[in-house]
Amino acid sequence: GLKKHIGEILEGIAEKVLDEESRSFLEALFQYILNEGRIDEESLNRELERAEFKEQKEVYMTIGEKIIKRSKQEDLIRLLDKKFSLTEEDLETIKNTMDVNKLDAAIDAFVFAETKEEVLKLLR
């Protein structure tokens, strides 16, 4: 599958100059790889760590972090909305949370939460 070729793909991309349009493309590519390529975040991060060029590696790590953050936001939104129903304000609170540790804490708190406020207060 795709997993065994991800290193080759990243090496090929690492040789290219990255402008804003390229970064947007890479972000979409990595999101697709995570969603459809049956590659977990840990495997992708391992390959990103192997990038040979410092500048590209930094871009990859930034993109990887954004993808992970967005994935956690989407998971939290899905969970809370199914159990409690979310308002637009609740959605904005989650989408504006940039701290992955806060998102992790909120996801963990969801398991035993009796109200959505118990979870959302961890993001504020």
Percent of the chain residues past pLDDT 70, beyond the cut: 77
Cα–Cα dist 76/39, whole Å? 21
Label residue 87 exposed, middle or buried (CB < 10 Å: 0-12, 13-18, 19+).
exposed
Instruction: Please tell me the predicted confidence (pLDDT) of residue 55.
Output: 62
Q: Which two tokens stand for residue 5?
A: 């070729």
What is the phi-psi region of residue 113: left when phi exceeds 0, alpha when psi lies from -120 to 50, beta otherwise?
A: beta
Averaged pLDDT for residues 87-112: 96
Q: Which two tokens stand for residue 22?
A: 């390229």
Cα–Cα dist 119/123, whole Å? 8
Averaged pLDDT for residues 92-104: 95
Among 54, 57, 58, smallest CA distance to 10 is for: 57
| Whether the Cβ atoms of residue 22 and residue 55 lie closer than 8 Å to each other | no
Instruction: Please tell me the predicted confidence (pLDDT) of residue 68.
Output: 85
Cα–Cα dist 39/67, whole Å? 13
Name the average pLDDT for the chain.
83
Instruction: Please tell me the predicted confidence (pLDDT) of residue 12.
Output: 72
In tens, the pLDDT along 14-49 reads 666 667 887 778 777 777 777 776 777 777 777 767
Whether the predicted pLDDT of 82 surpasses 80: yes
Instruction: Please tell me the predicted confidence (pLDDT) of residue 53.
Output: 58
Q: Which of 21-30, 67-76, 93-102 has the lowest mean pLDDT?
A: 21-30
18 contact partners, CB below 8 Å, separation of at least 6? 26, 55, 56, 59
